[in-house]
Amino acid sequence: MSVSVLGAGAFGTALAISLAGKGPVTLWARDAGDMAERRENAKRLPGCPFPETLSVTDDLEAGTEAEIILLAVPMQKLRSVLEEHKDALHGKHLVACCKGIELSSGVGPVSVITQTIPDATAAILTGPSFAADIARGLPTALTLACADAEAGRYLQAALTTANLRLYRTTDTIGAELGGALKNVVAIASGAAIGAGLGESARAALMTRGYAEMQRLAAHLKSEPTTLAGLSGFGDLTLTCTSEQSRNYRLGQSLGQGTPFDPTTTVEGAATARAVDALARDAGIDMPITRAVAGLLDNQLDVAGAMKSLLTRPLKEE
């Protein structure tokens, strides 16, 4: 089997490094020259040298020769990348490595793949993981979701490495939602800590945010147990409690009222807006998501957001 990674951000680079421990891997990037010369991604993942089995290229033909292609591009750019390169990606095993809901359509990455390249085998790799941990060989467990059970087993075997253990599911909707919605809750959690509201407030937001995730997942007919696994609860726990999370750091900036680097990709921002619109249309109660969307659009401040949550009608848990 052959593997390529399209996209040399921190996560794509880390996956390529880990997978290269099993055999040759190609990492495609528009700015491949510097990485090929330095043998590391000095800009996005410094201090993590490339194995000899990892080749870097800016040649799309070379980057798409593999049978299995990991799509490590931002969620909001996934469709345009697929449409731009659809001739080279027909019939491949395409594994999305991004987390979010597309703002324009309200669907997740697996749906974007199947809509854009119908003859591809679509899957998603998601769960609690930081790029630096994977690249440095630290143990990490993720969810590999593919609606085709046989293809899922094949991908699970191909993409499991010495430090990266994959668990398999056919519930792509649940896996997509877990990876997307935990980023929204992480923004809320970061805002609470940034505003000095304390650990108890963060714990409450995480717990009630998880309940929102379950409500939307039930509406979209995902398996009830999926969000209890790595792609849901596991990723929620990691992302809401670590400053390595860009979504959490954005929330902290909102809570502190300080600027945030606009060049940093934060998937939860667009996802909050997309999910808020989806929930409103479907009549699903998702107050934390609504509050995060309000914060991002400057319609609320943190004090107003917390007031809106704390003054909701009392009810059973």
Which residues are part of a known binding site for NADPH? 11, 30, 99, 131, 246, 266-267
**182 labelled catalytic:** yes
Annotated binding-site positions: 11, 30, 99, 127, 129, 131, 182, 235, 245-247, 266-267
Residue type, 299: Q
Residue list for the binding site for sn-glycerol 3-phosphate: 99, 127, 129, 182, 235, 245-247
CB 239 within 8 Å of CB 245: yes
Contact call for residues 27 and 13 (beta carbons, < 8 A) = yes
Residue for token digits 């990490």? 140
Contact criterion met (CB below 8 Å) for 212 and 272: no
Q: Which residue out of 86, 182, 221, 307 is catalytically annotated?
A: 182
Check: CB of residue 20 under 8 Å from CB of residue 54.
yes
Q: What is the dihedral of CA 246, 218, 144, 97, to 10 degrees?
A: -30
Lookup result for tokens 């997307």:
180
What radius of gyration, in Å, describes the C-alpha atoms of the chain? 19
94 with 67: CB under 8 angstroms? no
What three-state secondary structure class fits 8? Answer: coil
Longest Cα–Cα distance in the chain: 61
Catalytic positions are 182
